[in-house]
Structure 1
Amino acid sequence: MPALDAVACTGPWRHRHPGEKAVLAFGLLCCAVAVPPWPGALVVGGTALALLLGPAGLGARRLLRAARGPLLFVVVGALPLLFSVGGPTLVRLDPGGVGAALALAGRATAALLCLLLFAATTPLADTLPRLARLGVPAAVVDVAGLVYRLLFLLLDRMAAVRAAQAGRLGFRSFRTTFRSVAGQAGAVFVSAFDRARRMEQGLALRGDPGSLRVQLPPQRLSRRFLAGTAVLLAAVVTLSLVPV
């Protein structure tokens, strides 16, 4: 199981109602999108970061491991704003693009932390059954659950292939590493295609009995948590609108 899913299933907020965590995380996400990037990005991002490292119990090492991939995309997306095309040279640095690049990076990082706040505290198994109650088609919920299960199977398959290649010294040089990675990609693709085909056959043999129903533990929305969330969001918006 990936580290983020393990934290979501064992964290301090595991038994809280998903609606409470959704109001908190997506409320902060709306603030990250709506308020001015400065100082809004710092306020929203700092709040989400404090919640992740504090009450959510994610830990700095796990947070860095979960965020480093998306942060790379943020950096790649912000870098083009530093350059402009045209003029005496084909591509040149644009001093006016520094502010836009920083604003984009700050807003995107704050939004990423808000999404991680929900993902690190709410297992997908608690979220999917409740989506059907909110009006999401049952077929969409079923497909999402099957894809989620398939991801775990593919990760196990990748780990097994990599261990087998390492046992045959497949990573001793650049050439063997390149060959092993290519072979791993091919093996995982074939395995994913085969498992998807078997899943399709299994769904067809079910005769379309309807959605996959699961029993959910009884949970109630905490008024105290929702009230605290409202106060926190109001404070975030107020601090974000303070002129700098």
Structure 2
Amino acid sequence: MAYILDDYAILSPLRAKNNWLKLSIVAFGVLVGVSSSSPITPFLIAVCMSFATIFFGKVPAKFYFRILAVPAGFVLVSVVIIAFFFGEGSKLFSFDVFGYTLGVSSAGLSMALLVLSRTLGGMSCLFFLSLTTPMIELFSVLKATKFPDSFIEIAMMMYRYIFVFLDVAAGIRYAQLMRLGYKDFRTSFRSMVMLGTNLFIRSWEQGEKLYLSMNSRCYDGKLIVLDEKRPVMLPEIVLTSLYFIFIIIVFYYTRDILVI
């Protein structure tokens, strides 16, 4: 709970930069990475966005790679399945398991690398945004894009109370641990059921308190979201343009290159 994404986003030097510029960089990276037919471009996008997050955003490298390892772990399972069960052509290697032959073809391995590179490229772009821009500023961007007010307000309340309930859950679990609530499987199962029940009751109580507090403050159906104007400086435009041009050149000249 001490190290959440918003903590790093609030302290990041890139927080003071224009939100629309950061969104355009992220959207460009995601679209180009998904559109690339070669894994080279998405891998390059992942490297560039990771470097920008760590070097310019001042995010600790250990923390960054730890959170990046979570989606990477999930995608590695998919990559192994794709490599073994998709693609045709000559087998790079194969072996027998219970009378069945399993092998990896060049087409399957190329597809697996492409999926891996696209995932890493997209996740690095999203982590760049989440680690340099607090959520409240993203809500102001949504407000400026004329999203429905009800959608934005529900999203703001959900995001706020995620951490309230996490804090409550951590407190309850700590109290259960002090009372040996997880000493064996049966006790752990019972403690988890009690934890879920208490969270449901607390969420109901928090919803009623929120309703009363908003009505007491003359809530008229709209939440005010502050939008701070940040001009885009010339060095930022030059650096972003050079990055876009470089990625487009790599995308064009590697569109027919396969690693395998």
TM range (shorter): 0.7 to 0.9
**Equivalent position amino acid for 1:93 in 2:** L
Alignment-derived partner of residue 71 in structure 1 = 72
Alignment-derived partner of residue 62 in structure 1 = 63
Tell me, yes or no, if the aligned pair for 2:39 and 2:113 is still in contact at 8 Å: no
1:197 positional shift: 5.2
- 1:120 is the counterpart of 2:128: no
For residues 194-233 of structure 1, the aligned pairs below 5 Å read 194-196=205-207, 198-199=209-210, 209-233=220-244
In the alignment, the residues of structure 1 paired with residue 100 and residue 165 of structure 2 have an alpha-carbon distance, to the nearest angstrom, of 42
In the alignment, the residues of structure 1 paired with residue 159 and residue 210 of structure 2 have an alpha-carbon distance, to the nearest angstrom, of 13
Alignment-derived partner of residue 113 in structure 2 = 102
Tell me, yes or no, if the aligned pair for 1:82 and 1:101 is still in contact at 8 Å: yes
1:165 positional shift: 1.3
Q: Which moved more, 1:51-60 or 1:164-173?
A: 164-173
- The 1:107/1:131 distance shift into structure 2, 3 A limit, reads same
Alignment-derived partner of residue 52 in structure 2 = 51
**Equivalent position amino acid for 2:16 in 1:** H
**Equivalent position amino acid for 1:144 in 2:** A
Aligned partner of 2:152 among 141, 147, 172? 141
Question: Per the alignment, in what secondary structure is the counterpart of residue 58 of structure 2?
Answer: coil
Alignment-derived partner of residue 246 in structure 2 = 235
1:56 positional shift: 1.1
Question: Per the alignment, in what secondary structure is the counterpart of residue 6 of structure 1?
Answer: helix
- The 1:90/1:32 distance shift into structure 2, 3 A limit, reads farther
**Equivalent position amino acid for 1:75 in 2:** L
Identity %: 22
Cα deviation code 1:35-67 (max 9, x no counterpart): 233211221111111112110111122113322
Aligned partner of 2:165 among 154, 160, 163? 154
Cα deviation code 1:46-92 (max 9, x no counterpart): 1111112110111122113322332233223333323449xxx8976
Tell me, yes or no, if the aligned pair for 1:83 and 1:92 is still in contact at 8 Å: no
TM-score of the pair, normalised by structure 1: 0.85
Alignment-derived partner of residue 165 in structure 1 = 176
- The 1:175/1:137 distance shift into structure 2, 3 A limit, reads same
1:31 positional shift: 1.9
- The 1:183/1:55 distance shift into structure 2, 3 A limit, reads same
In the alignment, the residues of structure 1 paired with residue 81 and residue 218 of structure 2 have an alpha-carbon distance, to the nearest angstrom, of 51
Alignment-derived partner of residue 35 in structure 2 = 34
Q: Which moved more, 1:186-195 or 1:3-12?
A: 186-195
1:204 positional shift: 7.2
Q: Which moved more, 1:178-187 or 1:223-232?
A: 178-187
In the alignment, the residues of structure 1 paired with residue 216 and residue 100 of structure 2 have an alpha-carbon distance, to the nearest angstrom, of 59
Aligned residues: 242
Tell me, yes or no, if the aligned pair for 1:44 and 1:236 is still in contact at 8 Å: yes
For residues 9-24 of structure 1, the aligned pairs below 5 Å read 9-24=10-25
Give the gaps of 5 or more residues in structure 1. Answer: none
- 1:132 is the counterpart of 2:133: no
Cα deviation code 1:126-155 (max 9, x no counterpart): 111221121111111111111111111111
Question: Per the alignment, in what secondary structure is the counterpart of residue 37 of structure 1?
Answer: coil
Tell me, yes or no, if the aligned pair for 1:84 and 1:91 is still in contact at 8 Å: no
Tell me, yes or no, if the aligned pair for 2:43 and 2:120 is still in contact at 8 Å: no
Structure with greater Cα Rg: 2
RMSD: 2.9
Cα deviation code 1:154-201 (max 9, x no counterpart): 111121112111211223444444443343333333333443455456
- 1:190 is the counterpart of 2:191: no
